Each structure stands twice: as C-alpha cells, then as structure tokens.
Amino acid sequence: MWQMVMRLLMDKGDAILCEEYTYPHVAESFVQPQGYTAVPLSMDSFGIVPSLLRQTMESFRAAGKPLPRLLYTVPVGQNPTGQPPVNCSDFSLRLRLIKHWQALQQSI
C-alpha cells in the first residue's frame, strides 16, 4: 500500500522526509529502488524536531529544489526506537508546519 501511495504522489528524484531513525526496510525496499531521496530529520522525545523540519523545508526552497512531497513518520510507538505516543499539542505543532508547507507548495 505504501509503495502505491508513493508512486501516485511522487516522481523519480523527489525527496521524502523521514525520521532519522526510520525502520530500515522503508528506505531499502521503497524509497531507494524507486529513485526517491530520503531526507532524515532529527528527532526529540516527541518525534521530528519542528525547527529542523522548518529549516529543511526552507533550505529546499532557497536552493530552488522541489519541496519534499511526503513525510514518512510513525506517530505512535515509533519503530525502531520504541518511542511512546507523542504529546498531542506537540504533534499538532508538527501538523501545522506540514500544512503550512503544503500550502506553499500548491501556490508554486
């Protein structure tokens, strides 16, 4: 299912954001063989660090590169770290950042 979603939403060479500790099978079996580029994002105890998500997106935009089209994350019981479910308000901040960048990408 995941591979089908990537094929529908992404083109060869597109970047996909992921947690720095992502289950290795995802990159080895889905991302790399399809010609996508995995962009790992550092994590804190709640998941992806929001300031680094913002910084990464801004660096793509400044370089004139297409913004990443997908974010692969495991919000509950992160694999392989085993992190517990995220704090709801913290997760909400991450979702707002993602929605902000989606809106910018659609306006380009």
Look at the block and give the residue holding tokens 């939403």. Answer: 9
**Short-list 34, 44, 53, CA closest to 99:** 53
Encode pLDDT of 51-70 as tens digits.
888 899 899 989 999 888 88
Question: Which DSSP helix (H) or strand (E) runs through 47?
Answer: strand 47-48
Length of the chain: 108
Whole-model pTM above 0.85? no
40: three-class secondary structure by DSSP: strand
44: three-class secondary structure by DSSP: strand
Domain range summary for the chain, segments of one domain joined by + = 11-107
CATH number of 11-107: 3.40.640.10
Task: Check whether 87 has a pLDDT greater than 70.
Answer: no
Pairing of strands 37-41, 15-19: parallel
